[in-house]
Amino acid sequence: MQEQTNRQQESILQKENTVYRSLDVSGTFRVFMGDMTGMAEDLRKINHSTPTATAVLGRVAAGASMMGMMAKGEKDRLTLTFNGNGPGGKVVAVADSQGNVKAYMENPTIELPLNQAGKLDVGGAVGRQGMLTVVRDFGFGEPYVGQVKLVSGEIAEDITAYFAASEQMPTAVALGVLVDRDMSVRRAGGFIIQVLPHPDERVLTKLEENIGKLTSFTSLMEEEGDLLGVYERVFEGIQMDPPIVSHPAFRCDCSRERMEQALISLGAKELEDMIREDGKAELVCHFCRRRYLFGKEQLEELAAQLREEKKG
Ligand SMILES: [Zn+2]
């Protein structure tokens, strides 16, 4: 039964996402630009999220994916945590260096009216009274932790502020999710453009002019039809290196072993209470909602292990 549910879950996670990463030929800026429609739709299905929450999850996941790809080491992991004290609760996304992402939101069934601009109220759901925390874990030693006060809770602006404050890099970030009438994700994605040291002023002026003309990322995708079209439009009149194309995905790395560790960390007494009261334990992964069932015997084994360790 559990096997079956997990297999069903895998079968819904199949849409491809595409990210272009490139530089302009003068080395003035670098760009990550992604069509993350599949990723946002995966998150919606897993979380049964409302349109506002889908927009929150889709934007945070797209941002994390592209930031994850900025890693210097292959084993690096990036975690974005938006803690804005809004009704949607905390939002967390974890990305690896290939841009694969897992994400969750405390309250994905939040319903809010559209904001004053007639858009899904992402900032209202996330909240504005709090922090964005960015953790880069290198797989060894101390992780790097950066923090910035939330600007609007709209995600892209907050990530821009993070790059300005913590990494002193002038950065333009656009992230968007367009939800269809049937609540599925019609378009999702965005870009992160970063100005490099010693920019060519003419290229920079042209880039600013181009960006200044843009509306939203999802409306660009609607107009152009695909990522290549958007890319060519954003960098019109600028000579670009050929982009490196990759296909990140929603991916959760939870496992039975990890869940066992979580149970063990509760301690022997808690485990014994569990055995006495329920005779079993069911753990659900926050990120992918996969269920892990532990029977009485397995719990007893874990409790026995703990008692042994204590003695030893
Ligand atoms: Zn999981």
User: What distance, in Å, lies between the first and last C-alpha atoms of the chain?
Assistant: 38
Report pLDDT for 1: 42
Token pair 């209470």: residue: 273
User: Ligand 1 centroid to 292 CA: how many Å?
Assistant: 10
Are residues 272 and 225 part of one domain? no
- Ligand 1: centre distance to CA 288 (Å): 4
Ligand 1 mean position, distance from CA 117 (Å)? 35
Residue 95 CA, ligand 1 centroid: distance in Å: 13
Query: What angle do helix axes 156-166 and 51-68 make, rounded to 10 degrees?
Result: 30
In a domain, 173, yes or no: yes
Q: Which amino acid is at 187?
A: R
* CA 287 / ligand 1 centre spacing (Å): 5
Same domain, 180 and 77: yes
Q: Ligand 1 centre and the CA of 285: distance in Å?
A: 5
pLDDT at residue number 14: 54
pLDDT at 172: 97
CA of 51 to the centre of ligand 1 (A): 22
CA of 12 to the centre of ligand 1 (A): 14
User: How many domains in the chain?
Assistant: 2
Could you tell me the distance, in angstroms and rounded to a whole number, from the CA of residue 256 to the centre of ligand 1? Answer: 10
CA of 103 to the centre of ligand 1 (A): 10
CATH of residue 279's domain is: 3.90.1280.10
The rounded Å distance from CA 9 to ligand 1 centre is 11
Of 246, 276, 291, the position where a domain reaches its end is 246
Q: How much distance in Å is there from the Cα of 112 to the middle of ligand 1?
A: 28
Same domain, 33 and 53: yes
Cα R_g (the chain), whole angstroms: 21
Distance 202 CA to ligand 1 centre (A): 47
In DSSP terms, 146 is beta-bridged to 134
Which amino acid would we find at residue 290? R
Domain co-membership, 170 together with 274: no
Whether residues 240 and 260 share a domain: the answer is: no
Do 242 and 304 belong together in one domain?
Answer: no
Q: Which residues touch 118 (CB under 8 Å, ≥6 apart)? A: none
Owning domain of residue 124: 15-246
Question: What's the gap in Å between 283 CA and the centre of ligand 1?
Answer: 10
pLDDT at 124: 97
Distance 249 CA to ligand 1 centre (A): 14
> What's the gap in Å between 258 CA and the centre of ligand 1?
10
Spatial CB neighbours of 93, under 8 Å, sequence gap ≥ 6: 60, 61, 63, 64, 79, 80, 101, 102, 103
Regarding whether 227 and 89 lie in a shared domain, the answer is yes
For residue 79, give Cα distances in angstroms to 64, 246, 266.
7, 20, 24
* CA 6 to centroid of ligand 1, rounded, Å: 10
Asked which of 201, 226, 246 is the last residue of a domain, the reply is 246
Tell whether 113 is covered by a domain.
Answer: yes
* Ligand 1 centroid to residue 290 C-alpha, Å: 6
Distance 43 CA to ligand 1 centre (A): 12
Q: In a structure prediction context, what are the per-residue pLDDT tens digits for the chain, which is 312 residues long?
A: 444 445 545 545 556 899 999 999 999 999 999 999 999 999 999 999 999 999 999 999 999 999 999 998 999 999 999 999 999 999 999 999 999 999 999 999 999 999 999 999 999 999 999 999 999 999 888 999 999 999 999 999 999 999 999 888 899 999 999 999 999 999 999 999 999 999 999 999 999 999 999 999 999 999 999 999 999 999 999 999 999 999 999 999 999 999 999 999 988 888 999 999 999 999 999 999 999 999 999 999 998 888 887 776
Residue 302 shares a structural domain with residue 203: no
